[in-house]
Every structure is written in C-alpha cells, then in structure tokens.
Amino acid sequence: MIKKHIPNSITCCNLICGCMATGAAFHQHYVWALLMIIAGAVFDFFDGMVARLLGVSSPIGKELDSLADVVTFGVAPSAIIFGLFCEVQYPEILWPLRPYIPYTAFLMAAFSALRLAKFNLDTRQTTSFIGLPTPANALFWASLIVGQHAFLVSPKFNAVFLFLFMFLACLLLVAELPLFSLKFKDLSWEHNRVQYIFLLGCLLCLPLGYSALAAMIVWYLLLSVAVNARVNF
C-alpha cells in the first residue's frame, strides 16, 4: 500500500531539510538554514497528523521521526552556532583556543537528542511540554543569528557570551520547566486565555523581521514562567 509510506516520506523530507540547513550553516548561509529549519518544522508537524488520518502509525515511523528531529532541530542549530563561533569576536586570552571553541556548539546536538529521548518516554508531556522543545530552540537560534547577525559579530558581543548563552539554551532543553500547551480547547477566552495572550504578543513581535521567531520563543518562555508562578502562588 502506497499510503503507509506517505507519513515516513514526509518525515524524510524533514530529515532532508535538516541536512540542507546543516550544509548551509557550515557555509554561513544563515537565511537558507533558517528557511530549511522552518520547512523541516512544517514537515514535522504534518507527518504525525497524516499518519493518524490515514491510520498507518507505526513504531518505525516514531523512530524515524526522532532521528529526523535530531538532525533538523539538533545538528542544524549546532552547525549554525558553529558558523557564528567562527565569526564572533574573541577576547585576547582565548585566541589560542579559537580553532577549537567552535566545536563546543555540538553540545546543542547532544542536549537536543537527550531532550527528544526524554520526550518520547515522558507521559507528562502528552498535552504540554516540560523543557524547551527542540523545534522552538532550533528556530530561536536560526532566527536570532539571521536577525541580529551584525550585533553578534560586533565588538559588543564575543565568544564567551555566545558560549554562556548557548549553554543556557542547552539547560533549558532538559530543564524541569513546565510550558503551557499551544493547543486550543475551544475558541472561548475563558478556556484559552493564556493562548490568546501569547498570540497577541506574537503579533507584536512581527515587526522585528527575521528576529520575530526568536522574540516569540522568548515570549513563550516568559509567559510560561509567569503562568507557573501564578499557579504555584
């Protein structure tokens, strides 16, 4: 049956997008890398949906999905950060280590793989997230580096800041940080107040251009923290 191969074909498109994003990042073609990660995220959204609609979900599809996600949302953003490490300013004390520091970017791939493995086994994440989702992290870095490239390679920023910022993102991937679900229960304000507030904030981010996605993800994290603080209080 042809239809049983359709979801896996969509997943493979996600994987190919991740490979293309990685290749582009190594050549510092960051806009193309961002577009490929966005395309990969679209394919990632639809492969599971199509599998359920066609009734052809399978264990191999789940495994393939995770493998594709590691590439598109783990290796690709690592490659983007690697490219930026090759461009940023370095303090004089770190000049001898300049050829080697860019490889620390691949910590992001390792933490992303760990995040995906935890997600596959964590039954608490069926309706919401715990820790920053890998697609959000990948989109954040691609959007930030494209939108703020001039600042990131200027003397106002340097490799130390980039490493600390990257390591913080790695920790957020595996942190026990509850994040609200983006799914709407219905169209009412009462049941979806947080989601509507989030969407309003996203609209306000649109004028930021390429940086808009990065700003939206920061807004998502801040709003989740605020919601959790209110619930705990």
The tens digit of pLDDT for each residue in 182-202 reads 777 667 777 788 889 999 999
Q: What is the pLDDT of residue 233?
A: 44
Beta-carbon neighbour count of residue 48 at 10 Å?
16
* Residues whose CB is less than 8 angstroms from the CB of residue 75 and which lie 6 or more positions away in sequence, other chains included: 18, 22, 106, 109
Domain range list for the chain: 3-178
Would you say domain 3-178 falls under CATH 1.20.120.1760?
Answer: yes
Q: What is the pLDDT of residue 4?
A: 72
- Spell out, as residue ranges, where the chain has pLDDT lower than 50: 233
Instruction: Match 């393939």 to its residue by tokens.
Output: 64
pTM beyond 0.85? yes
Residue 133 CA to residue 137 CA, distance in Å, equals: 6
Residue 28 CA to residue 86 CA, distance in Å, equals: 9
Contact predicate 109/93, CB 8 Å: no
